[in-house]
Amino acid sequence: MRHLLSTKDMSRDDAITLLDIAEDMADVADREVKKLPTLRGKTVVNLFFEDSTRTRISFEAAAKRLSADVINFSAKGSSVSKGESLKDTAQTLAAMGADAVVIRHPASGAPHVLAESGWIDAGIINAGDGMHEHPTQALLDAFTIRRRLHQGGARGKGLDGVTVTIVGDILHSRVARSNVWLLTTLGAHVTFVAPPTLLPMDLTGWPAEVGFDLDAAIDSGPDVVMMLRIQLERMNAAFFPNSREYSRRWGLDDERFARLAPTSIVMHPGPMNRGLEISSAAADSAGSTVREQVANGVSVRMAALYLLLSGDREDS
């Protein structure tokens, strides 16, 4: 694998291979010494043009567990025009010998530009580009679902027949966009449930069903309910009347959570707006995978870095 930019063009075999390697990486996390020498001498740069807590520290932990050197570059607040600043930054990183660049950027397509520009000959990982994609989040979500559903032996398996309902701010969500492709490729059935104002205008070609009634969706008994954060920072208008109205109609509150089957799992990529899209009882329940998702994120990102960097890049 040269870059990890999107899940849209990822094959089922490639996805399963990555998830299987992540299982091996998770075994390392259970050891007393959580470190492998695999990427010794390699340099990974975390290039974050947008806020992040868990994704950035997750990539940092992943790179360090593989013994790579890590440079964190927080570029937020830069006022230089985007194309130019990205080019200058990339050339600086190239001069410093970066082997992989993990980039989060508010502009959709920025990681692709970096990968195709020729400014830098490093493996590029998309850690979230605007409202477009967030492939490692989808991979860690798939990994989490697979582990929960195939307890004690997930290796080699997909998510065939698994029903996943993704609820909330689909419009602004790169998590939903990366998940819809990956989960479908792995054999799952995806349904979006959202207010019409928080769905993209044109869903033609998206492999998802659409519903507007969260109660009906809950009663249909999905295996997975994935709640999304209301992304107020991406909203420049009123997409719903007020937060009370939103949580009444679209939130996973205590009453709806109680109606879910005990075997259903509740997911959220974080950060959560507790009391808005998800209640604390749901978020902290045994069925919730919120903290598992964070832990699994490190294993999945180790697998991604391994696939990008352990081969001989000169050949590719």
Q: Is 128 in the site for ligand NCD (CB under 6 A)?
A: yes
Are 48 and 127 in contact by the 8 Å Cβ rule? The answer is yes
∠ at Cα 151 (297, 146), nearest 5°? Answer: 45
Q: Is 289 in the site for ligand NCD (CB under 6 A)?
A: no
Residue of this chain nearest to ligand NCD (CB atom)? 229
Q: Which of 112, 91, 124 is nearest to 316 (CA)?
A: 124
Instruction: For residues 217 and 220, give the distance between their C-alpha atoms in angstroms, rounded to a whole number.
Output: 5
Cβ closer to ligand NCD: 134 or 301?
134
Q: Is 229 in the site for ligand NCD (CB under 6 A)?
A: yes
Distance in Å, CB of 136 to ligand NCD, minimum: 8
Q: What sign for the dihedral angle of Cα 79, 80, 86, 88?
A: negative
Near ligand NCD by CB under 6 A: residue from 6, 43, 137, 184: 137
56 is an annotated ligand-binding site residue: no
Q: What 3-state DSSP class applies to 227? A: strand
Q: Is 65 in the site for ligand NCD (CB under 6 A)?
A: no
Distance in Å, CB of 290 to ligand NCD, minimum: 10
134 is an annotated ligand-binding site residue: yes
Q: Is 56 in the site for ligand NCD (CB under 6 A)?
A: no
x/- string (CB under 6 A) for ligand NCD, residues 165-194? ---------xx-------------------
DSSP state letter for 220: T
Instruction: For residues 292 and 144, give the distance between their C-alpha atoms in angstroms, rounded to a whole number.
Output: 7
271 is an annotated ligand-binding site residue: yes
Cβ closer to ligand NCD: 106 or 287?
106
In the block, residue with structure tokens 């998590």: 175
Q: Rule CB under 6 A: which of 265-284 touch ligand NCD?
A: 269-270
91 is an annotated ligand-binding site residue: no
270 is an annotated ligand-binding site residue: yes
Q: Is 55 in the site for ligand NCD (CB under 6 A)?
A: yes
Cβ closer to ligand NCD: 174 or 256?
174
Q: What sign for the dihedral angle of Cα 277, 280, 281, 283?
A: positive
Structure tokens at 40: 């010794």
H or E element that contains 43: strand 43-48
In the block, residue with structure tokens 């007393």: 32
Q: Is 158 in the site for ligand NCD (CB under 6 A)?
A: no
Q: Rule CB under 6 A: which of 194-223 touch ligand NCD?
A: none
DSSP state letter for 126: E
Cβ closer to ligand NCD: 120 or 252?
252
Give me the DSSP letters along 259-314: HS-TT-EEE--S---BTTTB-HHHHTSTTB-HHHHHHHHHHHHHHHHHHHHSS-GG
Cβ closer to ligand NCD: 43 or 52?
52
313 is an annotated ligand-binding site residue: no
Cβ closer to ligand NCD: 19 or 226?
226
Distance in Å, CB of 97 to ligand NCD, minimum: 28
* Long-range contacts of 83-89, Cβ-Cβ distance < 8 Å, separation of 24 or more: 83/113, 86/110, 86/113, 86/114, 87/117, 87/119, 89/47
Distance in Å, CB of 141 to ligand NCD, minimum: 10
Number of shown-chain residues binding ligand NCD (CB under 6 A): 11
Judged by the rule CB under 6 A, the positions of this chain that interact with ligand NCD are 54-55, 128, 134, 137, 174-175, 229, 231, 269-270
Binding annotation: 54-55, 82, 104, 134, 137, 174, 229, 270-271
